[in-house]
Amino acid sequence: MTAICDIYDLQELARKRVPRMFYQYADSGSWTQSTYRANEEDFQKIKLRQRVAVDITDRSLDTEIIGQQAKMPIALAPVGLTGMQHPDGEIKAARAAEQAGVPYTLSTMSICSIEEVAKHTSKPFWFQLYVMRDRDFIRRLIDRAKDAGCSALMLTLDLQILGQRHNDVRNGLSAPPKFTINAMMQVLSKPRWCLSMLSTRNHTFGNIVGHAKGVGDLSSLSSWTAEQFDPRLDWKDIDWIREHWGGPLIIKGILDVEDAKMAAKVGADAIVVSNHGGRQLDGADSSINALPAIVDAVGKDIEIHFDGGIRSGQDVLKALCIGAKTAYLGRAYVYGLGAGGQAGVTKALDIIRSELDTTMALCGERLVGNLGRHNLLHPPA
Ligand code: GLV
């Protein structure tokens, strides 16, 4: 096998190994995918300042994220259906994150349940919450995250309704795959994946099936979202969620300055600047374009995290320079998982760490905390 040099090598391997409906579930944006593409493309427009003859010994990526120690300014983003990229994918990703000393965020729409992940890990992870119409279920879900020792709740606000991803419709996405010719062809063309999936019983949405009333089949994500997700969710709901949870709260899905101000006002501990990986509002700005104005507006009041389009340590560094405290890997680690399970996620984290460290050195910096807009050639005004 040729050497794996970057995240795109892992992506190519994942594309070969994972059935099309699950690979493309991750590798898709909504409708024309313009925002999905812009998330990556807009990083390329930002230029770094090269500095030389600076002592770059004793570098460190150590940081704190919402007051929690981390070995680098990276967190693993919540990703639905992770356990379909690789058996027990959520457990494998959480373990890789634990070893790398960075937070892992478990999605509400995960395959392995909160309890399963807690059972197979030894450090607290974060839990991402979608608010559904059945508030009793949501209260119980928050309680389950507390009982599992989760150390932050991440509330996602940008998916009360689902942006259409054409590939999911064409591929007949469902977990587990349905017995249709289309689905069976996709699955059987990846025999290694099929065999490996026999090693686990986690094949459907573990946080939901058997816990939410009347939900036995989540086959179509869009119809299920339309039935279950609460379209009435508004800023007032944050209060009861925060009170019921009682721990660190991160609000995800902020792309607008006014919304960032609201999130700071409702007492969140951090916001994630995100357009859901270009999977929701097609035509929205890229996350990296939206970041500077949000940092300028609320950066003194609230910790700012960044999500969207990160495929390299250079991307991470650019987001940090603009003012983010940490950057999330979503697809970047999911490709690693599909390519090689836990070792693949570790590889993705190693690649990003090494790129970030070397790039920081070439910018003439030794500590991530010292990065700033002075490291950019044309800093945002
Ligand atoms: C769910 O979070 C999705 O984007 O599919």
What is the 66 CA–ligand 1 centroid distance (Å)? 24
**Of the residues 120, 211, 276, 378, which is catalytic?**
276
The residue whose CA is least distant from atom 3 of ligand 1 is: 80
321 closest CA partner among 288, 349, 353, 354: 288
In the block, which residue shows the tokens 């594309």?
15
Average pLDDT over all residues of the chain: 96
Residues 70-116 have pLDDT tens digits of 999 999 999 999 999 999 999 999 999 999 999 999 999 999 999 99
**Would you state the pLDDT for residue 198?**
95
**Which one-letter DSSP state was computed for residue 368?**
G
Q: Are the beta carbons of 283 and 35 closer than 8 angstroms?
A: yes
Q: Tell me, in angstroms, the distance from the centre of ligand 1 to residue 124's CA.
A: 23
pLDDT score, position 381: 79
Quote the CA–CA distance of 314 and 316 in Å, as a whole number.
5
Nearest CA owner, ligand 1 atom 5 = 80
The dihedral sign for the CA sequence 27, 29, 31, 33: negative
Kindly state the average pLDDT of the residues 301-328.
98
Q: Is the pLDDT of residue 211 over 90?
A: no
Write out pLDDT tens, residues 38-64. Answer: 999 999 999 999 999 999 999 999 999
Q: In the chain, which residue ranges form alpha helices assigned H by DSSP?
A: 7-17, 20-26, 34-44, 89-100, 114-119, 135-147, 166-171, 181-188, 191-197, 221-228, 235-245, 257-265, 287-298, 313-322, 331-362
Residue whose CA lies nearest to ligand 1 atom number 2: 80
- Rounded mean pLDDT, 289-296: 98
Span 25-33, average pLDDT? 98
Q: Which atom of ligand 1 is nearest to the CA of 165?
A: 5
Residue 93's pLDDT is 98
**pLDDT value, residue 216:** 66
Q: Whose CA is nearest to atom 1 of ligand 1?
A: 80
Catalytic site residue 120?
no
pLDDT at residue 1 above 70? no
Average pLDDT over residues 343-359: 98
- What is the atom index within ligand 1 of the atom nearest the CA of 25? 5
Tell me how long the chain is.
Answer: 381
Collapsing DSSP states into helix, strand and coil, what is residue 208? coil
Would you state the pLDDT for residue 141?
97
Q: Which residue has the higher pLDDT, 218 or 71?
A: 71
Ligand 1 binding pocket, CB closer than 6 Å: 80, 109, 159, 276, 279
pLDDT in tens, 118-172: 999 999 999 999 999 999 999 999 999 999 999 999 999 999 999 999 999 999 9
The token pair at 308 is 């969207």
Ramachandran angles phi, psi of 64, nearest 5°: -125, 135
Q: Can you state the angle between helices 313-322 and 34-44, rounded to 10 degrees?
A: 80
Least confident of 180-184, 207-211, 264-268, 275-279: 207-211
